Structure 1
């Protein structure tokens, strides 16, 4: 009897070991089919490729908060290398057979991955997006991307610096022309500060500044699309185009007052928020995504706003009083390598951002993002977001060019860098832009 019980006990122990081993072997990571698990089993790992480096720590905190609410899911944030293209990084990961579960892409890149990503049209949040939020990511009646952020850009001004320069409370509506802008630069310099800093990164010059020459052609985006089509067909002579020349005339004024004009290509992104936040310059051409960095250098003032980029000395010309804004970043979900469990977990994460109080807090208060969803009624948490929202509310918004080719910023950003460094004249720049568009299919 005792011998029988001993054998029975050993058999039970062996079975227990087998069960534990099986459970331990079922876990996994990445997007491998064998490691997906179920959303309720406690072993689903999903990854998000983040292309907004300025919110990396905030995203990581959001992932932890989501995991606390959803203990069956682990979210890992993978950064795109600094200055890198999310399209190129995502393409490389697909080529290696290990794409992330979720990918944060620029709007113009979504269609390139259409056959590899999920149709998200059935998700509840589609009904709560702001106007036109999913227009550029809808193909054949299906929306393939989650609109993460409305962003805007232009001249950011430090109010404390410009107040002192103008001898009172600065009114941004007084800057309606190029001459108005240059007068402000002169006033700032007369007050003992430098007027502005130009950040020379290719993405800033090629994805933000130069595209104002396209969007500024007409308030009607259908006409802007026709202009781009004409560029592709080689039918545009930029040398005689008033909007392009007006924008570059403004750039010439910027170069004249640039704090880094002695070595215009030396500055890194981090230099801009430091100079502006510390009050060493009054103006910086950049977008509202820069607030976390600016606020880190300014612990007292915190008063900032946007000025549009004027392209002429006629205050009524389109673009002179409008700020550029649009949904800029999108999140897509892989369907090629991720398991059904991972796909459901990723959908749950996106819904959490839109509908959970902690998700909304991350978006608006922590990441300083202007949400693309009407149901999120939290006011912008920072002065730059508030400034963008005010321009939009007043109908003073120019649609950003969010559907540019993936290599536009690197190739034409390089051309803009040559112009900034005075290594090429405007005729050379215009030709390089025209030649580039002729190669775009």
Structure 2
């Protein structure tokens, strides 16, 4: 397998099902995007596979706005079915000979499709991307992925709940260790609220929480790479690893104070946003992509921000004060089934996002995305995006795992779910994770 690589200084979801007619290969091709600008009566129809369910509605509205700006291009948004990774859905569509024109993939999936997707190296936006944004989808000097978003994750907190708990203004710098975190949990519960909610989805546990144990091994990414290679070789024992055990100590405390402790696997993703937004819990482990859900339930007009996930009781240990962040989702363009006209229309959509006012407005203000382009100067439209940007600006950012195996979240996420439900102990969890890496093909 290709060596694990990382994004410096910068997940993820299965999408809600939406049935839409037509995919890239069978859509009406019409004339090119260039000829559409000249007023051709023929229409180019393109499709986009969306793997970020939380912005499905926003993408559908963006497609309408894009059509208004480019009348001869019609864009339809497909949703990856719930519980299916974007890699699995894209693979199925290719197997059927009916792939969409564009696909929103996780970074690690881009290389798997590089023989079937367009080389985008010649596009103007490459020069305007933030540092390292395209490095991790570049092979043999060719970039195949459009960096769609910067995302970060940790403990999202409702400031009103925490202010009440501490009897004043909550200071996030007071939480730098696992012991500090548990003290905060106790204060929240003493105030009459529940401390936090754990979302039990495999992608949240397997693609976000557990990888903190990988990325937290060292500030030196070369050392982290060596750690991953040691896992593959079976030469490292996770059960004896300090960072893994520290992270799981934190998880044990989270389980202890989880509002869904009696039924830890029953909660849906939306429940976390509801509990936090309504002020029924103080914290929720999730990412900035969750803002639309929180906002829709916010009944307290509360302020929200992030706390890092501590992994020890030494404040100076790496990871205790850093937030995990990375350029995450990538959009690629099919070259196998889509026509040249559709490919040009897809490029026009990507340029619309980066360079046109309505496209930038969709990305930042409507979809609450932190852009991966230097020329987009709109400030983050939501408090979670602003919080991530603040951590990055202060140099308090831990690189997220950007190139994980496609099945990591489902396989290892299932092991984390067993642990969360009490069906397995830490030794069994460590063994299952170790076996996953050793058996990786």
TM-score per shorter chain, which class?
A: over 0.9
Task: Please tell me whether the aligned partners of residues 110 and 144 of structure 1 are also in contact (alpha carbons under 8 angstroms).
Answer: yes
2:30 paired residue among 15, 30, 37: 37
Give the distance between the partners of 2:180 and 2:216, measured in 1 at CA.
19
Shift of 1:114: 0.7
Distance of 2:128 and 2:227 partners within structure 1: 32
Which residue of structure 1 aligns with residue 240 of structure 2?
A: 240
Q: String of CA shifts for 1:17-48, please: whole Å, max 9, x gaps.
A: xxxxxxxxxxx953337831213233210000
Q: 1:179 to 1:256 in 2, by over 3 A?
A: same
User: How far 1:301 sits from its partner (Å)?
Assistant: 1.6
Aligned equivalents of 1:195 and 1:33: distance in 2?
Answer: 51
The 3 A distance-change label for structure 1 pair 294 and 336 is: same
TM-score (normalised: structure 1) = 0.92
Q: Distance in 1 between matches of 2:248 and 2:26?
A: 52
Residue 115 of structure 1: SS of its match in structure 2? coil
Residue aligned with 1:286, SS:
strand
2:268 is matched with: 268
Offset of residue 279 of structure 1: 0.4
Deviation of residue 385 (structure 1)? 0.3
- The unaligned stretches of length 5 or more in structure 1 are 1-27
Structure 2, unpaired ranges of 5+? 1-20
Moved more, 126-135 or 307-316: 126-135
> For residues 121 and 179 of structure 2, what CA distance do their matches in structure 1 show?
48
Q: Matches of 2:114 and 2:98 in 1, distance apart?
A: 17
Between Structure 1 and Structure 2, which shows a larger proportion of helix residues?
A: 1
Instruction: Give the corresponding residue for 1:67.
Output: 67
Q: Tell me the SS of whatever aligns to 1:116.
A: coil
Structure 2: distance between partners of 1:162 and 1:52: 29
Name the residue aligned to 1:389.
389
With over 3 angstroms needed to count, the CA separation of the structure-2 counterparts of 1:67 and 1:34, relative to structure 1, is closer
Task: Give me the whole-angstrom Cα distance separating, in 2, the residues matched to 1:352 and 1:204.
Answer: 31
Residues 1:349 and 2:342 are matched in the alignment = no
Deviates most, 205-214 or 222-231: 222-231
Quote how far apart the aligned CAs of 1:83 are.
2.8
Deviation track 1:271-316 (CA, whole Å, cap 9, x = no partner) reads 1000000000000000000000100111442400000000000000
Q: 1:185 to 1:87 in 2, by over 3 A?
A: same
Distance 2:81 2:248 in 1: 31
* TM-score, normalised relative to structure 2: 0.92
- Give the match for residue 21 of structure 1: none
Output aligned runs, 1:166-177, within 5 Å: 166-177=166-177
Find the aligned partners of 2:236 and 2:344 in 1 and give their Cα distance: 47
Q: Take 1:152 and 1:115, find their aligned partners in 2: how far apart are those partners?
A: 30
Distance 2:26 2:197 in 1: 49
Between the aligned partners of 1:435 and 1:162, the Cα distance in structure 2 is 40
- Conserved 8 A contact 2:25-2:100: no
1:13 matched residue in structure 2: none
Larger radius of gyration: 1
Matches for 1:358-373 after TM superposition, within 5 Å: 358-373=358-373
Structure 1 vs Structure 2 CA RMSD: 1.1
| Cα distance in 2 between the residues matched to 1:50 and 1:408 | 20
Please name the residue that 1:23 is paired with: none
Query: Would you say 1:292 and 2:292 are equivalent positions?
Result: yes
For 1:402 and 1:299, locate their aligned partners in 2 and report how far apart those are by CA, in whole Å. 35
Matched with 1:58 is 58
Secondary structure class of the residue paired with 2:328: strand
Question: Shift in Å at residue 223 of structure 1?
Answer: 1.3
- Aligned equivalents of 1:74, 1:307: Cα separation in 2: 41
CA distance in structure 2 between the aligned counterparts of 1:146 and 1:32, rounded to whole angstroms: 21
Contact 2:27–2:45 under 8 Å retained in 1: no
Alignment match, 1:402: 402
Runs of 4 or more off by more than 4 Å in structure 1?
none
- The CA distance in 2 between the partners of 1:342 and 1:355, in whole Å, is 20
Q: Displacement of 1:136 after TM fit?
A: 1.0
Residues paired across the two proteins, number: 414
Per the alignment, residue 201 of structure 1 pairs with: 201
Q: After superposition, where does 1:5-404 map in structure 2 within 5 Å? A: 30-32=23-25, 35-39=28-32, 40=36, 41=40, 42-404=42-404
Cα distance in 1 for residues equivalent to 2:408 and 2:27: 39
Give the secondary structure class of the aligned counterpart of 2:269: coil
For residue 361 of structure 1, report the CA deviation from its aligned partner: 0.4
State how far apart, in whole Å, the 2-side matches of 1:312 and 1:199 are: 22
CA distance in 2, matches of 1:217, 1:300: 39
1:58-92 deviation digits (Å, cap 9, x = unpaired): 00111111111111110000001123211000000
CA contact (8 A) 2:25 2:101 kept: no
Contact 1:302 1:383 survives alignment (8 Å): no
